[in-house]
Amino acid sequence: MLDFGLAKHQADDPTKNEDENDSMKDQKEKKKPYALQKPANTALRQQRLKAWHPILSHSTVLPILFGMGVFFAVLGGVMYWSSVRVNELTIEYSSCRDEAPQSGPPENIPSKYYKYRFHSKHDLKNMQPPQWSAERIQPGPGRENNPARYRCTVSFSIPEQLDPGVFLYYKLTNFYQNHRRYMKSMDYLQLLNKPRTADELQSDQCKPLGRDPHTNLAVYPCGLIANSVFNDTFASPIMLDESGKEISTYNMSEKNIIWQSEYKHYKTPTYNASEIVPPPYWQGAEGPFGYPSGRYEEGKVFDPSKNEHFQVWMRTAAFPHFRKLYMRNDNDPMTVGRYSIEIKDNYPVNMFHGTKAIVLSTASWVGGRSIVMGASHIAVAALCFLLGFALTGMQLARPRRVGDTRYLSWNNPPKQRT
């Protein structure tokens, strides 16, 4: 009954059937046969552009291999030579508070804790070894329950003059700044002084250090990276005479230790001190990133745009053993003599079974003292020579006849000989 009614309705409206038939005819007419569905007949669409295709034969491959071997050998040798000319002194002070004397004269640092790397040969056995001493810093009033802080004084000898620039780094081992969760634990908008609520920070990358659990206020700066910032401090080296008296200070600057583009990621905050709190590890601590009261005060909110040490730390390292620049001197040479550096030991490393050290170094056009770049280029050169000699021996032992390359051109075949 329904079908009959539908057929009757269509019969009553013949114009509708004609329109549907016309649209179906148009679709059939627009659809082209498959053979005609091809790109336009142009050089680009039909892949007829002119190109040069190298023909790999022993007369072309062998010179290229030997040429690359010579190039990489020369470049790697120059890079290696420049790298080993960098002077470097590394002193580990992780055990200073435990092994260094806290009373009496300083003692020699065990040889396993320091390393000299100078390009000139020196008799280090006859040179006075580095020494250290430790002093416990008494906590201020109301902070008697805080962890003990120490001042470590390290003295060392410079066997030859260090030409500028001279750089002082701190070095950490077994610290995985490259962990995915750690690297993402920061908020760029907050560091750029964009409005961010505690709930937004807690639900975004800064979780679980976006909101303070006691006050429910926003943590500034939030995240794991800022919370674990390195807070040991180093004074400029002081030159000593033979009796250990201070002669002069080799002034080193803590400015210009960041990349030129890094300062763009930080702005001076305009948050009210009552709206934010410092990260957990900053609360109650002392030092450059410490707030003993556990809260910010008006006019004393941390400003990341003016703290280059914070910006250096926020640029995460790619490997678990890394060094970061602390201060530098680009103008004055560091003359031969005995020096001492005062270190305020605040940063714990035992919790992650790591170590910390100071590195006094110069630089070359390839950077610091690292033979990896030069050695890798020399290894590539050796591989090129090895392949070259192997292919040469194979060609001499069992030579292969090279075909007539003119037959590779199908468009212009060679004429038949008569």
What ranges do the domains of the chain cover? 58-86+365-396, 88-176+236-247+306-363
* CB distance 225 to 186 below 8 Å: yes
336 vs 158, 163, 198, 241, CA distance in Å? 5, 11, 54, 11
Q: Is the pLDDT of residue 359 over 70?
A: yes
Q: What is the separation of C-alpha 227 from the centre of its chain, rounded to a whole number of angstroms?
A: 19
Q: What percent of the chain has pLDDT over 90?
A: 59
Q: Which of 359, 355, 363, 295 is nearest to 320 (CA)?
A: 355
Specify the pLDDT at position 78.
Answer: 95
How large a percentage of the chain has pLDDT more than 70?
A: 85
**Residue 121 confidence (pLDDT):** 75
3-state secondary structure at position 155: strand
Q: 244: phi > 0 → left, psi -120 to 50 → alpha, else beta; which?
A: left
- With bands split at pLDDT 50, 70 and 90, how would you rate the model's confidence at 367? confident
pLDDT in tens, 385-412: 999 999 999 988 888 777 766 666 655 6
Q: Band of the pLDDT at 11, cuts 50, 70, 90? A: very low
379 or 57: which leads in pLDDT: 379
From residue 348, how far is each of 140, 143, 182, 354 by CA, in Å?
20, 18, 18, 9
Average pLDDT, the chain: 86
Please name the residue that has the structure tokens 């591989």: 383
> Which residue carries 């760029």 as its tokens?
188
For residue 387, count other CB atoms closer than 10 A to its CB: 16
* pLDDT over 60 at 185, yes or no: yes
β-pairing, 233-234 with 337-345? antiparallel
3-state SS, residue 413: coil
Which amino acid type is present at position 236? Answer: S
Lowest mean pLDDT among 5-9, 144-148, 227-231: 5-9
Neighbours of 82 (CB within 10 A): 18
d(CA 230, CA 344): 12
**CA 107, CA 133: separation in Å to the nearest integer?**
7
User: Average pLDDT in the 148-156 region?
Assistant: 91
Q: How confident is the model at residue 53 (pLDDT cuts 50, 70, 90)?
A: confident
What average pLDDT does this structure show over 289-316? 91
- The pLDDT, as a whole number, for residue 29 is 56
The answer for residues whose C-beta is within 8 angstroms of residue 418's C-beta and 6 or more apart is none
pLDDT in tens, 210-255: 999 889 999 999 999 999 999 999 999 999 998 889 999 999 999 9
